[in-house]
């Protein structure tokens, strides 16, 4: 953690250069949200511009993706995605992040941002990036924000001073997320809230290998449905990413609030499906709004939600190996009525009430779309 207070140099030390300062934050006027699907309206869409990364972090499964498997999202898929978003959740937060991929690898990024702003004018768009292409001056922070992004959320794989200098050059407000409160830019806004389409800011993050142990132990680095190479992770400095002795008895908010779209346009179970094991099981954005309804309110998703609400990760193959626990994962979301129905052939069909954990365990573990 760095301090914004400039210290006098000790004898023999090179003089410290003063850190650049951010322009002040001005809180934007946030539009009143509309939720076309009521309490079942997704609040975040994670959209993958690139499947595959230019780094190979030890806490990630990117190194398992072969070059021949890399995919960049195309314009047709991008347009279909934002058309659906504008219909079903027009005030959503959009996170342009690979499940395992670096969004700035997509050379159409600036064009796509402009298209998204036209198709879904009220969304809040965040780009989550490892920052390497920005450091290489292939993308300027200002250009990304001017094209339509609202938040640049940059894991600083490189010297913090270089990122701060570039953030300063952009002219937009910025802050180091992990600075002490007293050192933060006054009025700095959280990226985890909807502020609307007029917000512009840069959030500089510490990349995970530099995190203190307390943050690493908080289970916010997952095991990617158990697909991570645990030995490699441990050797790379992440011994806390280890196989579970037994499935967690915890809820998960992901399938209730978050939609994950792969670079090919297919819906995935969640952001933890880095190797896209569920690709092909939930349909794709190419089936339009109706296809979205069939995915979001389909039998598989409703069944998974029912199990997760019972803290029964054990019954869902993917969740049984998942170690991640997000800060709000234990919230009880959706009501029984919303869970006990599916959208099928253009209409609602009632389901029998979901099984209890014990009943489910007696019937064995369900595999998705089996
Ligand atoms: S953690 Fe992010 S930057 Fe690192 S390899 Fe995975 S996708 Fe790339
Ligand atoms: S518990 Fe299941 S739905 Fe939640 S993040 Fe883990 S694998 Fe995804």
Rounded to the nearest angstrom, the distance between the alpha carbon of 117 and the centre of ligand 1 is 27
- Secondary structure (DSSP) of 17-78: PPPP-PPPP-PPPPPPP--TTGGGS-SEEEE-SEEB-S---TTSSGGGS-GGG-EE--HHHH
Ligand sitting nearest the alpha carbon of 328:
2
Atom 4 (ligand 2): residue with closest C-alpha? Answer: 252
Q: pLDDT tens-digit profile of 230-289? A: 999 999 999 989 999 999 999 999 999 999 999 999 999 999 999 999 999 999 999 999
Q: pLDDT tens-digit profile of 62-115? A: 999 999 999 999 999 999 999 999 999 999 999 999 789 999 999 999 999 999
The ligand 1 atom at the shortest distance from the C-alpha of residue 155 is 3
Rounded to the nearest angstrom, the distance between the alpha carbon of 271 and the centre of ligand 2 is 8
Residue of 251, 252, 277 best suited for mutating to test ligand 2, as the one with most atoms within 8 Å of CB: 252
Can you say whether the dihedral through the CA atoms of 174, 150, 272, 58 is positive or negative? negative
Cβ contact 269:279 at 8 Å: no
Residue of 56, 96, 102 best suited for mutating to test ligand 1, as the one with most atoms within 8 Å of CB: 102
Q: How big is the chain, counted in residues?
A: 370
Of 96, 214, 102, 105, the closest CA to residue 150 belongs to: 96
Structure tokens at 354: 């979901």
Residue 364 has pLDDT above 80, yes or no: no
Residue of 228, 254, 258, 304 best suited for mutating to test ligand 2, as the one with most atoms within 8 Å of CB: 254
Q: pLDDT tens-digit profile of 12-53? A: 444 557 889 999 999 999 999 999 999 999 999 999 999 999
0.85 surpassed by pTM = yes
How far is 264 from 282, CA to CA, in rounded Å? 13
């Amino acid at each position: 953690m760095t301090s914004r207070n400039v210290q006098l140099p000790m004898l023999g030390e090179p003089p410290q250069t003063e850190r650049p300062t951010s322009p002040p934050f001005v809180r934007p006027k946030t539009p009143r949200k509309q939720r076309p699907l009521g309490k079942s309206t997704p609040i975040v869409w994670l959209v993958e511009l690139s499947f595959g990364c230019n780094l190979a972090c030890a806490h990630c499964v990117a190194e398992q993706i072969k070059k021949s498997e890399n995919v960049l999202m195309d314009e047709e898929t991008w347009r279909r995605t934002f058309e659906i978003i504008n219909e079903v959740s027009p005030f959503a937060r959009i996170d342009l992040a690979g499940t395992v991929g670096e969004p700035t690898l997509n050379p159409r990024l600036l064009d796509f941002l402009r298209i998204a702003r036209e198709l879904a004018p009220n969304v809040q768009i965040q780009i989550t990036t490892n920052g390497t292409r920005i450091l290489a001056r292939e993308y300027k922070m200002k250009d990304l924000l001017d094209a339509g992004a609202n938040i640049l959320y940059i894991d600083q794989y490189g010297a913090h001073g270089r990122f701060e200098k570039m953030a300063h050059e952009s002219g937009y407000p910025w802050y180091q997320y992990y600075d002490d409160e007293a050192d933060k830019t006054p009025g700095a806004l959280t990226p985890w809230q909807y502020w609307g389409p007029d917000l512009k800011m840069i959030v500089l993050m510490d990349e995970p290998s530099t995190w203190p142990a307390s943050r690493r132990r908080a289970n916010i680095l997952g095991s990617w449905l158990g697909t991570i190479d645990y030995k490699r992770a441990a050797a790379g400095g992440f011994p806390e990413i280890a196989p579970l002795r037994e499935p967690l008895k915890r809820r998960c908010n992901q399938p209730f609030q978050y939609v994950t779209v792969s670079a090919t346009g297919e819906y995935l179970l969640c952001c933890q499906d880095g190797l896209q094991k569920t690709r092909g099981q939930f349909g794709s954005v190419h089936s339009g709004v109706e296809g979205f309804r069939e995915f979001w309110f389909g039998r598989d998703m409703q069944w998974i939600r029912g199990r997760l609400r019972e803290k029964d990760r054990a019954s869902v193959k993917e969740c049984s190996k998942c170690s991640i626990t997000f800060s709000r994962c234990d919230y009880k979301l959706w009501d029984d009525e919303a869970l006990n129905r599916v959208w099928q052939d253009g209409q609602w069909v009632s389901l029998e009430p979901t099984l209890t954990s014990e009943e489910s365990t007696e019937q064995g573990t369900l595999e998705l779309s089996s």
